[in-house]
Structure 1
Amino acid sequence: MMNGTPMMNGHCAPRFAPLRDLLERRLADGDERGASLCVIQDGETVVDLWAGEASEGVPWESDTLVNTFSVTKTMLALVVLSLADSGELDLDAPVARYWPEFAEKGKSGVLVRHVLGHTSGLPGWDATMTVEDLYDTRRAAALLAAQEPWFAPGDGSGYQAISHGHLLGELVLRATGSTAGELLRTRFAEPLEADYWLGAPESVDARVARLKSPPHAPELGEFGQRALLNPVLSMKVTTTREFLGAELGGFNGQGNARSVARMQSPISHGGEIGGRRYLSPQVIERIFEVQSDSRDRVLGHRIPFGMGYALPTPNLMPTPSGRICWWVGHGGAVVVNDLDRRTTLAYAMNKMAAELVGAAKTRDYVRATYECLGS
């Protein structure tokens, strides 16, 4: 900081100055500790900003990484959509086609798209879990395969806060023989030159920001408690080697706003960016097939879920209507893909808000971005 004013790093196109000013104010007021913002529009990075502290006395640098929590789920969506494109996964097929054990306890009719859209009936585990249990991803997935659904699959949503990555991760492994983290790296992160990791190598550990826990816990109903508090996760664990190295595809992707935006930009750009095609327009359109549009049993909000993303939800995220898909991470991280405006917005930070979805400061960044876009 200079004279108590946070030093802003990076660049920002003039028309996005209000977005930069908002981030600067939030840092100065202490509403942010360290944060990054990125906007990619029509193939051009028009905003790439970072400032503040990664941890006490350590500046947030250009290559600082942070746990993006459930924004990670949008990265799993990329992998699954790419496998649908290549014919390695059928989104309308039963999960049991690829993972026969999954058919137990009345789950033979659960489809791949049910898992992508949080309507599988498996938002959590019946067994009491520890964080260490989550690291044994195949055993944790086998426990899910062996249990009865908590509700009729396909009948509304129950947000798979933690279980999402174990379900899709095992499905991807069964279909391809590769882990989701490996495919994410080779099919998206490396060609997009995006510094985003699911199953991070030890070489990144020193760059990972420390999270500041939210001021209070969110209020949860019965389903929320069962899904979100089994296991209880301390923020202190998120910088340990064991956590960083695991592939917890529901919530432990490491990145920053720039890498999140780069990874997701093929969605907003019709599947092709930088002269390379990542996804077909046809498979991108499947994101917008509504899987559920009712009050989510875990989160307590009415959220329209497509395949792998939420769709426009004005009371939670101030976007226009149209072909927009988005999702958030616990504490406030967000990615918004706007296909009509060929724009991807991402925000990642280490001072966490209490809300599980629709945090006020996150909404402000999204609102400011659309005001700058003239929308």
Structure 2
Amino acid sequence: MSNVEGFVEAGYEQVREVFQGLVDEGRETGAGVSVWRGGREVVRLSGGWADAGRQRPWWDDTLVMPYSLSKTFVTLAALVAVRDGAIALDEPVARHWRAYGARGKDRTTLRQILVHRAGQPRFPAEAAGLDLLDDAGLRAALEKAAPEYPPGEGLGEHALTYGHLVDGVLRAAADTTLGELFDGVVRPALRLDAWFGVPEAELGRVAELEYAHPDWPERLHAAPWLRIPDGALDTGRVNANDFRRAVFGAVNLHTTATAMARFFAELTDEAGPVRELLGQELHAELLASQVTGFDEVFGTRLTWTLGLIRDRGKIAKGGIGGSAAWWSLRHGHGCAYLTRRLDDHARAAAVAAALGDDLSVVGED
């Protein structure tokens, strides 16, 4: 049997069985699972390896990039700026970020950005030659581009653009950056083992991403929205330390399963750290259903809150590759499945099913 370490409390044995099976069958080569309930961790499992060479076991403190799960924490940084009065949710962002108002974007609001209705689900073709880490160039490309549909009318997850859009707003309205606001306010307030820009001292904990199949990027429904700039799906690029140490808000938070499960377990708590960070009104805005419709990037109908997906059973967010985290509205637990093996969400869905949860529609496969 392959290496699976950790614990499950009584009543959660099936989670271990499912996860052990995924590792034994080779469907999982490196992942962590965590479940929190009633203020404590009731499941913590680690399986497989943190590196492609199978030399570093996956430990419970292994950091991994979960792609779009990262967007949840971009949202929180934006809402802190709203809390502090730097900008309002329904205020046109061009009042602050004047260059952004070009070509039909003059009335785009922060709310429209956060609920993926700003009409910029991808970087424009003019950005194709830019480096993945050219922050200023990519923001400028968004400023100059016309939206793909009138802001507020269509729906499509801002797959790679989300962090750059919010970062542009924060720079203009709050005189700070996404990285600074997350690191200085959000991360300490929520006690998160999570990083935009992994510090040098923490790089040894980071897992290497790898494809489950050589053509994995081409299999994605969302592939057309992820091609510009080049490199976001290239494991050689995203496994490099310069990318890990940078801030690419839409995708490159690095975190642990335990941190994400605890965050989601505390997400709706009226006495919890998210409510304390945002205040009652913005906490309610964060969790409330904002828009329901066909999301062209996901290729399905879904409901967005401010940055999260919500249905009758859960509040969740996932990312391409198979990582996902959620709060179960039905069962009252927070869960996370974080993986380095880039495939679909079937593995996380199997763990969710063992908990009685339905993990439909969490990532852009």
Deviation at 1:342, TM superposition (A): 4.7
1:317 matched residue in structure 2: none
1:235-254 to 2 correspondences below 5 Å: 235-254=235-254
1:42 matched residue in structure 2: 38
Does residue 258 of structure 1 match 2:258?
yes
User: Kindly, what percent of the aligned residue pairs are identical?
Assistant: 27
In structure 1, give the amino acid aligned to 2:320.
Answer: H
Gap runs ≥5 in structure 1: 313-320
1:159-308 to 2 correspondences below 5 Å: 159-215=157-213, 216-219=216-219, 224-233=222-231, 234-270=234-270, 272-273=272-273, 277-308=276-307
Equivalents in 1 of 2:207, 2:149: separation in Å? 38
Equivalents in 1 of 2:126, 2:9: separation in Å? 50
Deviations 1:300-358 (A, max 9, x none): 1112222111112xxxxxxxx15x321111111111134675532111011111x4xxx
Deviations 1:91-122 (A, max 9, x none): 11111122111111111111101100111001
8 Å CA contact 1:268, 1:342 repeated in 2 = no
Deviations 1:23-57 (A, max 9, x none): 11111111111110112223222222212111122
Question: 185-194 or 48-57: which moved more?
Answer: 185-194
Deviation at 1:85, TM superposition (A): 2.9
8 Å CA contact 2:264, 2:335 repeated in 1 = no
Question: How large is the Cα RMSD of the aligned pairs?
Answer: 2.4
Deviations 1:161-191 (A, max 9, x none): 1011110122122222222222222323234
Does residue 365 of structure 1 match 2:351?
yes
Residue 239 to residue 271, structure 1, CA distance change in 2 (3 Å): farther
2:5 corresponds, among 1, 6, 9, to 9
8 Å CA contact 1:271, 1:280 repeated in 2 = no
Deviation at 1:284, TM superposition (A): 2.2
Residue 131 to residue 186, structure 1, CA distance change in 2 (3 Å): farther
2:361 matched residue in structure 1: none
1:82 corresponds, among 69, 80, 83, to 80
Deviations 1:187-214 (A, max 9, x none): 2323444221111122222221111214
1:90-169 to 2 correspondences below 5 Å: 90-129=88-127, 133-169=131-167
Question: 188-197 or 235-244: which moved more?
Answer: 188-197
Aligned residues: 352
Equivalents in 2 of 1:98, 1:261: separation in Å? 35
Residue 90 to residue 309, structure 1, CA distance change in 2 (3 Å): same
Deviations 1:211-249 (A, max 9, x none): 12142345567xx55422123431111121211111100
Deviation at 1:263, TM superposition (A): 3.9
Residue 335 to residue 371, structure 1, CA distance change in 2 (3 Å): closer
In structure 2, give the amino acid aligned to 1:18.
Answer: Q
2:317 corresponds, among 310, 321, 327, to 327
In structure 2, give the amino acid aligned to 1:349.
Answer: T
Residue 141 to residue 265, structure 1, CA distance change in 2 (3 Å): farther
Aligned to 1:106, what secondary structure does the other structure show? coil
8 Å CA contact 2:210, 2:341 repeated in 1 = yes
Equivalents in 2 of 1:327, 1:99: separation in Å? 28
Give the TM-score, by structure 1 length: 0.86
Give the TM-score, by structure 2 length: 0.88
Residue 299 to residue 47, structure 1, CA distance change in 2 (3 Å): same
8 Å CA contact 2:5, 2:47 repeated in 1 = yes
Aligned to 2:112, what secondary structure does the other structure show? helix
8 Å CA contact 2:322, 2:347 repeated in 1 = yes
Equivalents in 2 of 1:271, 1:278: separation in Å? 11
Aligned to 1:277, what secondary structure does the other structure show? helix
